[in-house]
Every structure is written in structure tokens, then in C-alpha cells.
């Protein structure tokens, strides 16, 4: 029995960083800021508008004859045709002229919008791809009981090739429901969530690089819970329903999954150095490769008198896209 309790405490230690734990309906949950997923028409409009440049089409002003309801020309008392001056402005939704694609000149907001559209393209078109998630240990400092289960901790943390997560997503199956473990979500990153967003073009591929702001989450036995983790908005699996599928575990979700065995668990979790690198087709907005990474650290205490600290770097990759 003592070994079982110790193992459960070890699980509590590493749940913030990897997809482990159990699904649980009751208890506190986190709130993640999300953005409504674009439907097919909204996505098509967004793609058309992104490169449309209404300013390249000058308004057209011309003098035309005034006609009546029957289409006949209206004349004045001298029998001359009545005319009027009409100015027609280009419709930004129908203009066909495109900007010269030079992503290096894009604003931060425009880069984020390009990435958002690209992730929405995955959600709508549902290509096949391979997803992997791995973690490299930075440090682990635990009391004697938790130290005894270091092997189990590394296994659940995903340390090493033998413990990494990998899934081959079949074309047509990407979903937006809560069972998001294998799937890419639509980005909802805004300017307030990032420190930098840049893009460069080589051939027909635009490489987007986004540096995400640091985030943190905490809970004190289920109380004073907070979660402000911008990395959760990047498209990775994050939320508060399917604990087994999350790429990023917050403090409150960990508590929610383990409060029956550790009701006083106190945790402070921090995500830093978040980075997104996406290679995207400049014409179709289709992602060719996507890597999302971040460093995470956790301080855990009040687990039957035990405490632990750990750190790791998590990397989530989406490759081998089949559109």
C-alpha cells in the first residue's frame, strides 16, 4: 500500500508536464481563452482577404446618363440627356489584385493572422499527419519517497525515445471536440500573448516564428486557482476535460485529477521560452511542418508531507502532412 501511495505522489509531481492522469468530470477546472473555430466559408473569406489589396485598385469616376424605371434616358426641357457623376469603389471582398508576398514586412498582427488561418486550414481540411511529443529532463529534486520512483517519473514524463508520445492522424479525422490528444487546434494567439512574431519566405514556403510569453498556473488545495498560459493558445491540445490527451498540464488540472489522494496538494507551475516554428505553403496556407516547444517547471508541496521540484523541455511536432 505504501508503494502505491508513493507512486501516486510521483504521478502528481509530473502531471503538469505530460499527458497523464485520469479523466474526471467533477471538481475545479481551468478556463482557457479560445477563439471560435472558423467554418469553411469564414476560412475561405479569410484566405481571400489576407492577400487582397484594395488600395491597388483606384476608385473609378465616370459620367453616366440617368435612366428611368423603364431604362429609358431622362432628358431635360431642352431635350438633352440628364447625366450624373458616379464613383465606384473596389469591393475588398471581390478584388482579384494581390499583394506582392514579402512576409518580412508583415506586422506582428498579420503574422499571427497568417498562422491562425493556417491552423484553421488543418481543422477544416483535416489532412493526415504525424504528431509526436517528447520531454527532456532539466532537473528533478524530490524527497526520498519520490526519488525511489524516479524511473516511473521519467516514464510518465516521457523522457527518452522509448517514452515519447507518437500518433499517426488519419486524413479526415482531425476534430475540434474535447478529445484533442492527437489533433491540432486553431490558434487563438493575440499580440498580448507573444513577444515576437516574424515571417520569411523561401521559394513558396513561408516560415513563421513566434515567441510566446511566459505563463503560469497555480492552486492551493484547489483554492486560489489561476491559469494564464499563452502557450495553450498555440494550437496544442489544452483544456479542462480530457486529462489524458493534454500536451500541457496546468496546476489546477493536476489537482482536479488527484485531489482524491492528495486533497491538500499545492502547486505552482510555470511555462517559459515558448516558441512556434511553422512552415506554411504561401499559396494554400497549408502547414508543411509545425514545431511547438516550451520549458516547464513545477514546485509541488503538501503531498503527505512531501515536496518536489522539477523542470523539463517539452516539444510537440506535427510532420508528414498529407493534404
Residue ranges per structural domain of the chain: 2-45+99-322
> pLDDT tens digits for 264-316?
888 899 999 999 999 999 999 999 999 999 999 989 888 777 788 989 999 99
Reported confidence tier of residue 22, pLDDT bands at 50, 70, 90: very low
pLDDT at residue 102 in the model: 93
pTM over 0.85: no
Answer whether residue 41 shows pLDDT above 80. Answer: yes
Question: Using CB atoms within 10 A of its CB, is residue 313 exposed (0-12), middle (13-18) or buried (19+)?
Answer: middle
Reported confidence tier of residue 131, pLDDT bands at 50, 70, 90: very high
State the cell numbers at 96.
Answer: 482579384
* Most trustworthy range by pLDDT among 67-76, 92-101, 140-149, 307-316: 307-316
Given CA atoms 298, 137, 237, 20 in this order, what sign does their dihedral have? negative
DSSP 209-221: EEEEPPEEEEEET
> pLDDT tens digits for 175-232?
766 566 678 999 999 999 999 999 999 999 999 999 999 999 999 988 888 999 999 9
pLDDT at residue 3 in the model: 46
How open is the CA angle 290-38-253, to the nearest 5 degrees? 65
For strand 287-303 and strand 83-88, is the pairing parallel, antiparallel, or unpaired?
Answer: unpaired
Q: In this structure, are residues 247 and 238 in contact, taking their beta carbons and an 8 Å threshold?
A: yes
> pLDDT tens digits for 105-129?
999 999 999 999 999 999 999 999 9
pLDDT at residue 243 in the model: 65
pLDDT at residue 2 in the model: 45
Q: For the chain, what's the residue count?
A: 323
Mean pLDDT of the chain: 81
Given CA atoms 235, 241, 246, 249 in this order, what sign does their dihedral have? positive
Amino acid at each position: 500500500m505504501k508503494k502505491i501511495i508513493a507512486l501516486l505522489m510521483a504521478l502528481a509531481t509530473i502531471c503538469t508536464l505530460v499527458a497523464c492522469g485520469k479523466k474526471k468530470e467533477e471538481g475545479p477546472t481551468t478556463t482557457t481563452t479560445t477563439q471560435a473555430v472558423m467554418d469553411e466559408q469564414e476560412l475561405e473569406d479569410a484566405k481571400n482577404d489576407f492577400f487582397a489589396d484594395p488600395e491597388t485598385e483606384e476608385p473609378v469616376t465616370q459620367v453616366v446618363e440617368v435612366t428611368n424605371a423603364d431604362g429609358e434616358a431622362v432628358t431635360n426641357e431642352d431635350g438633352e440627356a440628364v447625366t450624373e457623376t458616379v464613383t465606384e469603389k473596389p469591393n475588398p471582398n471581390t478584388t482579384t489584385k494581390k499583394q506582392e508576398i514579402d512576409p518580412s514586412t508583415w506586422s506582428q498582427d498579420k503574422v499571427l493572422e497568417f498562422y491562425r488561418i493556417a491552423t484553421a486550414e488543418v481543422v477544416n481540411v483535416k489532412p493526415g499527419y504525424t504528431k509526436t511529443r517528447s520531454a527532456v529532463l532539466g532537473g528533478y529534486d524530490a524527497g526520498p519517497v519520490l526519488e525511489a520512483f524516479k524511473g516511473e517519473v521519467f516514464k510518465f514524463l516521457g523522457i527518452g525515445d522509448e517514452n515519447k508520445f507518437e500518433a499517426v492522424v488519419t486524413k479526415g479525422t482531425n476534430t475540434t471536440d474535447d478529445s484533442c490528444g492527437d489533433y491540432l487546434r486553431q490558434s487563438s494567439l493575440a499580440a498580448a500573448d507573444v513577444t515576437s512574431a516574424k515571417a520569411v519566405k523561401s521559394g513558396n514556403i513561408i516560415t513563421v516564428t513566434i515567441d510566446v510569453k511566459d505563463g503560469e498556473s497555480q492552486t492551493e488545495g484547489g483554492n486560489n486557482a489561476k491559469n494564464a498560459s499563452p502557450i495553450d493558445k498555440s494550437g496544442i491540445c489544452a483544456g479542462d476535460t480530457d486529462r489524458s490527451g493534454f500536451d500541457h498540464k496546468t496546476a489546477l488540472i493536476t489537482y482536479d485529477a488527484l485531489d482524491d489522494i492528495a486533497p491538500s496538494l499545492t502547486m505552482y507551475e510555470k511555462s517559459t521560452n515558448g516558441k512556434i516554428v511553422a512552415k506554411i505553403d504561401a499559396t494554400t496556407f497549408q502547414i508543411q511542418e509545425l514545431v511547438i516547444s516550451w520549458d516547464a517547471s513545477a514546485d509541488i508541496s503538501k503531498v503527505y508531507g512531501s515536496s518536489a521540484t522539477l523542470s523539463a523541455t517539452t516539444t510537440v511536432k506535427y510532420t508528414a502532412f498529407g493534404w
